[in-house]
Amino acid sequence: MTTVFAPELEKAPGSNGSPGRPFHMLSLRVARLWGACADRAVPWVTGVFAVVPIAVLVAITVVLFHEALPAIRINGIGFLTRSRWDVGSGYGIPIKVHGVEMAPHTSYGAWPLILGTLESSALALVIAVPISVGAAIIVVEKLPPRLSRWAGICLEVLVGIPSVIYGLWGILTLGPFLSKHLAGIADHVPDVPVLRFFRGPTYGAEGLLVSGVVLGIMIIPIIASTSRDLIRQVPSSAKEGARALGMTDFEVVRKVIWPWTRSGIVGASVLGLGRALGETMAVAMTSGAVLGTTAHSIFSHMNTIAATIVSQLDSAFADGTGFEVKVLAELGLVLIVITLLCNFGAKLLLKRFGASAIAPAAMGN
């Protein structure tokens, strides 16, 4: 018991708040032992925490891959380029191809879904990034502190709105509004390459444009709140330096704030893109849920991978052979790959253009 070296404590019984009783050496020993154990445990525990996200990603991919393997074998690489989506005759006698059972006359092609996913997400980014970054700059640089705090709270509330609400709003309000007011313009867009995509009948409340706009609005809070935090971190000394040089507010943004936050804002946009690529419910409600064709114009009905998985799930479970479920798993795998590719693409982009080569090392990568 006395091996613990704490002479000053030994000599002062009662000084630890319990008058008259000798200092309890055991508690000190236990505390030290506990401390030593905790020190040893920290690298292990943090190591486990660090591995968990990677393990989850790997596990999901492996399970999906396993689930999708029969479909991958049957559909082949053509799955990515084919357009036709036919679940076949559910009442026919199932056929067997390479040992895999499926309904007769099936054809599964993911191309329109891949394209729809990319198109709607790209549209969302085009809408969301300028608005988000502009809003973030105004919130940090222009609004008085109290208003700026309120704007921040609003942004956070927006993140929390369920996507089904966005979907409802899209189909009940935004869709009819857009189709009504853009119809006149869409008719007059010249029929030349590129521009042709913005021409044609506006159909109704659903389609690529509505989905894209809804997605854009959904990811604005994500990009804006991240951008706001980044812009707040730009040292005020640099901004003051620019103002002291007689630069306009716009020049301060362009010369100081933008270079300082560029790489972070690209990161925030990728975060938003990830959300847009995977968004299911809002798109399922506003896309028009057409299968088998790509969008001819920005007003066309379309579909995305995520929306298709959820809307086809019922029919897939009704497929007695279970093949369609495997096809949906394959679709999920494609979506994961697209998301990962987008992430890597963004990283590559940053490296290529040396976004942060000039900015100080302290500002992330």
Partner 1 sequence: MNTVQAKPVVAEVAVPASNPAVAGPELEVAGTTGALPKAMTVTGFTGAFSGKTIIEDISLELAEGSITAIVGPSGCGKSTFLRSLNRMNDRIPGWKCNGSVRFYDQDVYGQGVDLLSLRRRVGMVFQRPNPFPMSIEENVACGIKAHRLVPRSEVRRRVQDRLEEVGLWKAVHDRLHDSPFRLSGGQQQLLCLARSLAVSPDVLLLDEPTSSLDPISTEAVEQLLKELVPDITIVIVTHNLAQARRVADRVAFFMDGRLVETGTVQQIFEDPRRIETGQYVSGRIG
Residues within window 215-244 making contact with partner 1, judged by CB under 8 A: 235, 237-238, 240-244
Query: Hey, what are 122's tokens?
Result: 């790209």
Of 59-67, 83-91, 254-262, 293-301, the window that binds partner 1 (rule: CB under 8 A) is 254-262
Nearer to partner 1, 65 or 258 (CB): 258
Of 103-111, 309-317, 320-328, 357-365, the window that binds partner 1 (rule: CB under 8 A) is 357-365
Q: How many residues bind partner 1 (CB under 8 A)?
A: 25
- For partner 1, the binding residue among 255, 271, 289, 294 (CB under 8 A) is 255
Per-residue binding string, partner 1, 267-306, x by CB under 8 A, is ----------------------------------------
Query: Hey, what are 253's tokens?
Result: 């943004």
Burial of residue 316 (CB within 10 Å: 0-12, 13-18, 19+) is middle
Quote the least distance from Cβ 129 to partner 1, whole Å. Answer: 20
C-alpha distance from residue 244 to each of 241, 249, 255 (Å): 5, 11, 13
Quote the least distance from Cβ 229 to partner 1, whole Å. Answer: 17
Query: Hey, what are 10's tokens?
Result: 């030994």
Largest alpha-carbon pair distance within the chain? 97
Quote the least distance from Cβ 267 to partner 1, whole Å. Answer: 16
The secondary structure of 66-122 as a DSSP string is HHHHHHHHHH-GGGGT---EE---TTSPPEEETTEEE-TT-EE--HHHHHHHHHHHH
Nearer to partner 1, 256 or 284 (CB): 256
Quote the least distance from Cβ 233 to partner 1, whole Å. Answer: 12
138 binds partner 1 (CB under 8 A): no
- For partner 1, the binding residue among 144, 184, 190, 193 (CB under 8 A) is 144
Query: Hey, what are 51's tokens?
Result: 């591995």
The DSSP secondary-structure symbol of 300 reads S
Nearer to partner 1, 125 or 234 (CB): 234
User: What own/partner pairs with CB < 8 Å and gap ≥ 24 does 23-30 have?
Assistant: 25/1, 26/1, 28/4, 29/1, 29/4
User: For the chain, where are the alpha helices, taking DSSP H only?
Assistant: 7-10, 25-75, 111-141, 145-160, 163-169, 175-188, 208-232, 236-244, 249-252, 258-278, 281-286, 305-318, 323-352
Nearer to partner 1, 137 or 307 (CB): 137
HSE-up of residue 338 (Cα within 13 Å, Cβ side): 27
- For partner 1, the binding residue among 89, 248, 315, 365 (CB under 8 A) is 248
360 binds partner 1 (CB under 8 A): yes
Nearer to partner 1, 160 or 246 (CB): 246
133 binds partner 1 (CB under 8 A): no
260 binds partner 1 (CB under 8 A): yes
- For partner 1, the binding residue among 247, 271, 281, 290 (CB under 8 A) is 247
Residues within window 17-36 making contact with partner 1, judged by CB under 8 A: none
Quote the least distance from Cβ 232 to partner 1, whole Å. Answer: 15
Give the C-alpha separation, 24 to 51, whole Å.
41
- For partner 1, the binding residue among 223, 256, 277, 333 (CB under 8 A) is 256
Nearer to partner 1, 194 or 361 (CB): 361
Q: Which of 311, 341, 122 is nearest to 215 (CA)?
A: 122
358 binds partner 1 (CB under 8 A): yes
Contact 182, 202 (CB under 8 A): yes
251 binds partner 1 (CB under 8 A): yes
Per-residue binding string, partner 1, 301-340, x by CB under 8 A, is ----------------------------------------
Strands 95-97 and 100-102, bridge-based pairing: antiparallel
C-alpha distance from residue 324 to each of 198, 280, 293, 313, 320 (Å): 34, 19, 19, 9, 9
Q: Which residues bind partner 1 (CB under 8 A)?
A: 144-145, 235, 237-238, 240-248, 251, 255-256, 259-260, 357-361, 363
